[in-house]
Each structure stands twice: as structure tokens, then as C-alpha cells.
Amino acid sequence: MNRKQLRQLTLVALSGLALAMSACSNEATTDPAKNNSTAETSQTAPSSTTAHSDGGTSSTTETAAPAQDRVLKDAMGHEVKIPAEPKAIIASYLEDNLVALGVKPAAQWMTGRGTMQDYLQDSLNGIPGIPSELPLEVVASYTPDLILMDSAELVAGDKYQQYSAIAPTYVVGSAQNNDWRQELLTVGEVLGKKDQAQKVLDEYEAKAKDAKAKVAQVTGGTKKAAALWILDNDVYVVNQNLSSGDVIYKDLGMGVPAVVQEISQKSESNWSSLSLERLADMDADYLFLVNGSGKSKEEILADPVWKNIPAVKEGHVYEFGKDKSWLYTGAVANGMMIDDVLASVTGAQ
């Protein structure tokens, strides 16, 4: 046999071998009964067996999709890559939303030197504080994998680029005072807890509706109220559309005093300074005092400037300390305020 014949014979043999291997492969693929047990185990998802009323059973396959990174556009138009399961979150002044969703941040926003948002400490006790100005080196020290910013104001200038160099940075709202309801839903979406956020909001709305009816039963639905923040020598009144004003007037339906209306039209701040002359004109039937003065309620009201206010005359002045939520906003804060108003106005605990 010469070389040419040997080569032809070899090619024929190889072709036959290839056809045989292809047939075996097809047979193994099309006939599951001939697959080996190892291949079957690796390709089959976990299954559960369901019992039926006729005594039979059926098998269902359940496959849990793994969490994946997502790209979301924030309030400033940035496309932000959100980690699938963020473990270390910095969310300055958004802690109310985190607590409502059962999430603990790596650090919590401080309202002053060494002081936290007191009303959240049942949930955040032991979480270290971070200065309100969010120094870059302090933020970086917590090695966050996600940074949530309350508003565009916090990332003005080149701050966004600086924070995003530390971790993916998502700006929740564009305004200085964002709508807290939308803020909650946005945070829920970013954290993959959209349904939970909606449930929290639905439960709050139901609570507010019920409380509004109970307050109206006592007040007749016509009484006016105001929240005042008392410091050493200054008095501040809440904006009718923000913070506790939003709860008192919008959610609970109490009347807005003329002084509050006038100041709210001129200011975008949550709280505005109130002169003694305007305080004396306060036509409120109920007063909620956030007392940070170090004086007792009796000492405060002893000043003659208070004597002609209807709420003072009727004994409808209620005092709250800095551990309460009246200076803040959010599902947790506002829910606590509703409890405070009900306990004060209706006597319900």
C-alpha cells in the first residue's frame, strides 16, 4: 500500500469516527434517559412537590433570579450604576426613609456637634455619626458602596464628581425641600424595595385619614393650629407646607392661622423666625411647642406676649422635646407626629 492509498484510508476512517461520535452526541441530547446523573443534577433547578386533594403530587421548578447591578437615572440626570446588594450606604438626611424600609446605614447624619436625629435612635442606636457637611475624607473612611444625596444642593459645583469618585452617588431630588412621599418611593426603587416603600406609604395614608377624622370629631373641623420651635431668645413658626406643617394642615386638616399663611408665602424654609409682635397676633386654637429653650412650658407662657393667644387661654398648648420628630419629615417622623397630635387633642394614646 502506497502513501496515497494510506492517506485516503486514514481520511475515510476519521470520517467514520466523526459520524459515530456525532450520532452518540445527538442520542445523548435527545434522550434524557440516557444522560448521566451528574449532568442531570447540574442542569435541573431545585424543585418542590405539591400535594393535591386527590392524593397525587406535582413537581414545580423554582429558580431564584440573582440580584443584579442596575443603572438608574437620578434627579440630576446622572446615570448611576446601583450595586445589586449595597452593604455600606451613606444616605445623609435620608435616614427616615432607610428606617421605614428596614435598612441601616453605615453612618448617620448629625444635626449638630455630636448629636443625631433623636427620634430615630431606637432603630439607629450605635450607628456612628457623620458631620452634616459630609467631609469627603469622612465619607471615604466608611468605604461606602452607595451614596444617596437628599438634594442637588448637597452636590453643587464639583462635589458630585468628588463623591462619585468614592462610590456610586445617586441624587434623590432636585429641590431643597423634596416631596417626602416621592422621596420615599425613589429611595425604595434605588434599594430594590419599591413594593415595600409603597406599602409603607399606603399604611401612612390610612393612619393619617383615620387620625384626621378623630381630630375633626373633637375640634369640629374648624379649629386652627400652629407648631412653634422655641429656642433661648427666638421663636420659629413652621411653614404650612413643610415638615410638621404638612402634617398638621394637609394630613390632619387643621386650620391655618393667618400669621402662618403670611410667613409661608414669603419663605421656602421649613421654619421661619417669628417676631414677638407677630406671635402676639397668633390666632391659633392649638399650639404645639417644640421646646429647645431650657425653660419649662410654664416659664415660656408667663411672658405677657402669649396671654391673648386663644390656645393659651383655653389651655391647648402642648410641649415636645428635641427627642420628638417635629423638626423633621418622612414616614417615620410624620407618623410619630400624628400620634402626638392625637394624644394631645383627643387624649388618645
d(CA 333, CA 95): 11
d(CA 312, CA 245): 20
The pLDDT mean for the chain works out to 85
In a domain? residue 93: yes
In a domain? residue 65: no
Q: Which of 192, 208, 229 is the last residue of a domain?
A: 192
pLDDT at 4: 34
Q: Are residues 279 and 237 in the same domain?
A: yes
Q: Which of 157, 192, 227 is the last residue of a domain?
A: 192
Rounded to the nearest 10 degrees, the angle between the axes of helix 194-219 and helix 331-341 is 20
Given pLDDT bands bounded at 50, 70 and 90, which one contains residue 59? very low
Does the pTM exceed 0.85?
no
- Stretch 243-263: mean pLDDT, rounded? 97
Q: Are residues 167 and 237 in the same domain?
A: no
Compute the residue count for the chain: 349
- Stretch 24-44: mean pLDDT, rounded? 35
**Residue burial 67-102, b: 16+ Cβ < 10 Å; e: rest:** eeeeeeebbbeeebebbeebeebbbbbbbbbbbbbe
CB atoms within 10 A of CB 55: 6
Query: In this structure, are strands 225-230 and 286-291 parallel, antiparallel, or unpaired?
Result: parallel
- Structural domain of residue 281, as residue ranges? 219-346
For 210-225, how does the pLDDT look when each residue is reduced to its tens digit (9 = 90+)?
999 999 999 998 999 9
In a domain? residue 57: no
8 Å CB contact between 179 and 201: no
Can you read off the three cell numbers belonging to residue 171? Answer: 441624587
d(CA 249, CA 236): 17
Work out how many domains the chain is built from and give that number.
2
Q: Are residues 300 and 188 in the same domain?
A: no
For 136-145, how does the pLDDT look when each residue is reduced to its tens digit (9 = 90+)?
999 999 999 9
- Stretch 182-195: mean pLDDT, rounded? 97
Q: Are residues 245 and 338 in the same domain?
A: yes
Given pLDDT bands bounded at 50, 70 and 90, which one contains residue 322? confident
